[in-house]
Amino acid sequence: MSHAEAAAPVIKPAGRAPENHLPAGEVPANHLFDTVLPVRPALVNRGSAERMKPNFVDGLLAAGRARAMVLSGRQALIHGDALVLADAGQLRDRIHNAESGPSLIVYLGAALGSPGLPAGTEILLFILPEQMEPGAAGLPSDATWEGFRDVAARLDPTHTALFVEASAIANWHASHTHCPRCGTPTTVETGGWVRRCPADNSEHYPRTDPAIIVTVVGPDGRLLLGGGGPLDAKNYSTLAGFVEPGESLEQAVDREIHEEVGVRVKACQYLGSQSWPFPASLMLGFTAATDDTEAMPDGVEVTRARWFSREELQEAVLSGEIVISSRLSIARSLIEHWYGGVIQDRPADE
């Protein structure tokens, strides 16, 4: 199928009868419809019960079998196309008294098995206050400090999952060092997944902020994309926003789309989700239908909004007229779901 002939994707509406010829609107009890975006299996067993054991992390370090991922300032130590996963016990001993020693050690879980990382391998996260020089403490001398966006396309799925999990928990620790009730510095428990206030004994857990991200489709089948920043910028993507207290996800879709581009949504459907812990979001993907054909950017979050047919979008991307979201993001998955196939990117050398 050529990009100009990409067919509109078929979406199974909620309430549609399955292939057993029941009357419309009637489905078996507890019938499940497939999510459109694939459900990716977990690649790390986070061991929520195991990490509650007293001195669990110390025991892993003493046993000498755990591996350590190293993170500092939202960057991880990378060697080639993989995370540096050093011997955790040896690394702790080598940097224990150094100024760059870990400010925090967090249990990430046990690998479920992937090339180079056998099933059952226990992974700890060393969060450093400052980046160590590659080659120090026995780390690879040709390793580099890199952020997730820089390396995600090179990492295998398990290392990607570890980087995302590590970023999320590290960001939470960095912003929740004190009790929100009384301001007392909190202590870390449960392998790094709980902070307790020693003054009032309250427990505090990692937080995730839900956000909706939406492909808005007009009555003629065209897709509405938007962008922020300068009016002549080329970046276009799906529309998104945070869910506010007291809202349902569907209400957030309707409100955010209307606030950002002045379009009213008449129906929406959930398609899938992606963790995006930069700093702490869970992106909940939707597609939405509208009868509106004009968009009015709010001028703050969205400065540009434009409707695209499938042929127009592919041609604009190939010509370099616009740039859409990378394949790392749920935004790209949502756009290609509407498109009905893979959108070809402009070659890098053009």
Q: What is the pLDDT of residue 6?
A: 33
Q: What is the pLDDT of residue 327?
A: 86
Biggest CA–CA distance in the chain, Å, is 71
pTM: 0.83
Share of the chain above pLDDT 70, in %: 87
Of 25-34, 79-88, 219-228, the least confident: 25-34
pLDDT digits (tens, 9 = 90+) for 45-75: 999 999 999 999 999 999 988 999 999 989 9
Instruction: Report the mean per-residue pLDDT for the chain.
Output: 87
Q: Which amino acid is at 313?
A: L
Q: What is the pLDDT of residue 347?
A: 87
* Domains of the chain listed by start with CATH number: 44-175 (3.90.79), 208-339 (3.90.79.10)
pLDDT digits (tens, 9 = 90+) for 268-310: 999 999 998 888 899 999 999 999 999 999 999 999 999 999 9
Distance CA 321, CA 158 (A): 35
Which burial class, exposed, middle or buried, applies to 142 when counting CB atoms under 10 A from its CB (0-12, 13-18, 19+)?
exposed
Q: What is the pLDDT of residue 26?
A: 63
pLDDT digits (tens, 9 = 90+) for 178-220: 999 999 999 999 999 999 999 999 999 999 999 999 999 999 9
Q: Which residues pair with 235 in a beta bridge?
A: 323
Q: What is the pLDDT of residue 135?
A: 86
Distance CA 161, CA 165 (A): 6
Q: What is the pLDDT of residue 114?
A: 80
Share of the chain above pLDDT 90, in %: 72
Decide: 119 and 42 in contact? Cβ < 8 Å.
Answer: no
pLDDT digits (tens, 9 = 90+) for 71-125: 998 999 999 999 999 999 999 888 865 555 568 999 999 999 887 789 999 999 9
- Please, which pLDDT band fits residue 3 given cuts at 50, 70 and 90? very low
